[in-house]
Structure 1
Amino acid sequence: MTSIDSVISFIKEQYKTEAFIPLHVPHFGGNEKKYLLETIDSTFVSSVGPYVDQFEIMMQKITQTQKAVAVVNGTAAIQVALRLLGVKSGDEVLTQALTFVATANAIAYQNATPVFLDVDLDTMGLSPKAVSLFLEEFGELREDGCYNKKTGNKISACLPMHTFGFPVHLDELLAICNTWKIALIEDAAESLGSEYKGKPTGCFGKLSAFSFNGNKIVTCGGGGAIVSNDLKLGEKGKYLTTTAKIPHPYEYVHDEMGYNFRMPNLNAALACAQLEQLYSFLENKRKLAKEYESFFATSGVKFRTETPETKANYWLMCVELENKIERDLFLETTNKNNVMTRPIWQLMYRLPMYNHCYRDQQVNAEFLEERIVNIPSSVR
């Protein structure tokens, strides 16, 4: 295997610095300052303003969906998507344990229970085979949907996450979900700009959720979005996330429990400027990924690349080490030498609040947990 020192040297060469190299930092090279100043001058810095509307229109175009709803963060987007599809207290949601904690938290916020199923080795996202095997063993179709015949709980949704921007096998998952009458929601928090069979991630699920956190490919500090091709669902999402207020010139009437999940116009202004640069960001990231791929090809270290019929945004690029010992040595050495790297997330069922949840054998997830390391992936 290529020495870790040579990896460090290569990364420093790419970023042309001996100073600390973060994992992923935002790039503000467009109209960010202009739009922010316009927003401040207008005094519309809160949840009403033209940039909120513009952001939603831009997201509709990028994701090829009928409706986008700007919200405060990606976790809120998932939570509201689950509610819109009728996920209730006591229901079960099929998802992956190899994910950021927000995926599981959003399910728990609905008082539902995550069911942790294995991922595929190639995508690092929810495995159609694992979902199918679980449903064949535990699923029971009834007139009003799918139920877990062991627990008696309704299985209301399937929530795959496109890990690091690598799309899951969507066609297979959708076919399984359609057979079992389970709604599919894409956790597309990490996959803005990624494509599956020529179409953008986020347009396949009944609803999908995006994140614009500070370390995402496009950021507005915080921020999230719900997108859907079901206009009625999308409009209901807008209503719920703006406190379920009935429109009126001055009266305050709310006819159900809503959420104050509105994205401020100030954040939306930043988001719009960032979205204008999305495709240049993607191009630069793909160039960096090619350089990494070429370097690691002769190193004995596997650099993770997109799967056939997909186009990844390469949000966070990653390598697969030989084993946990090699992984830990790589992490320790790179971080000591001013190159930030990090392991993939700890599997959700290892966390105290989710260790009671059902999980299958997790063969692939545990394999990846011991080997995957993220390396610097910023737009240069």
Structure 2
Amino acid sequence: MKKGKKGITIHDIAKTLNISASTVSRSLNDHPNTNIHTKKLVQKTAKKLNYNLNSIASRLRSGRSNTIGLIIPRLDREYFSNVIYSIETNLYQRGYNILICQSNENFEKEKASFQTLLRNKVAGLVVSISKETIDSKFMENVIAEGIPLIQFDRVLKGVKGNKVINDNFGAAYQAVSYMIAQGYTKIAHYAGPLHINIFEDRFLGYKRALKDHGIAFRKELVIQQGLSKDEGELITSRLFCKPDHPEAIFASSDYAALGAMIRLREMGFSVPADIGVCGYANEPFTELFGLTSIDQYSSEMGKTIAKTLLESIEEKDVPDIPKTITIEPKLIPRKSTQRQVNSAV
């Protein structure tokens, strides 16, 4: 095989040997679960095709490892845990390991995590930003150094680079439209910080659904701090102690929605007969409590992140044009919003 203008890739080696590209990657990275004979054959073929000079040597010169850095806001959420599991599973098959850091929703800790991972010479970075993050300079510096970076879920829109996100606008629109079809018209929104893309998009989807169904938007029914169970309880106590309280709640967090359900029942309200409640993320407890929620397909998110990152790392001969990949969530209706049992989703 002659070397083309773009150089030899692992796919050329895979085609020559009639094996998968992932097997080639594991062999070149000396993965422990790869057959020794296959490793030797791949390495011999890589040298013959001049891949060794183009790709392996460039990695050695850059000092990069086969480790991927991952920064998330918090580990105690099923969504992030599932994304991490999927990323790790898919990357391990290709000879990569991951280092995980959590920012605990703190910008300074997030920056420190970046510095720690960069000192470890990671081959790439994956990040979902904290609720305090508004400065993109540190991420732009990473990209400028040629280190592949992928933002997912919570992202800074102005940063050039790959992003994997959910259609939060569409999911929120679908959820609020469903609640309206169930007979709820005065719907409160526990929004989360609106400077963060996911919460902004959910708010905009909520607002658009009201408009399209002829319902006036009321800003006093939008509360930005409602993400935790305790916050959900506190906000609900404040909103529902008045005679003109809302008829329903669309929360950007299942935890806030759970807190709302608990407090509503303590206050003597029936869910869903009196008040409808919908959350977001489809945490495991939502099925137990009959809470309507939105599944974000976390496993698909992780798989897509891993695939996109590997393309950036291993296919250096292909221009890495920044792209945004969108995963479509799905509304999961349950008892907490089913006022009209026979209505369609």
TM-score scaled by structure 2? 0.37
Higher relative contact order (CA closer than 8 Å, sequence separation 6+)? 1
Q: Which has the higher helix share?
A: 2
Structure with higher Rg: it is 2
TM-score scaled by structure 1? 0.34
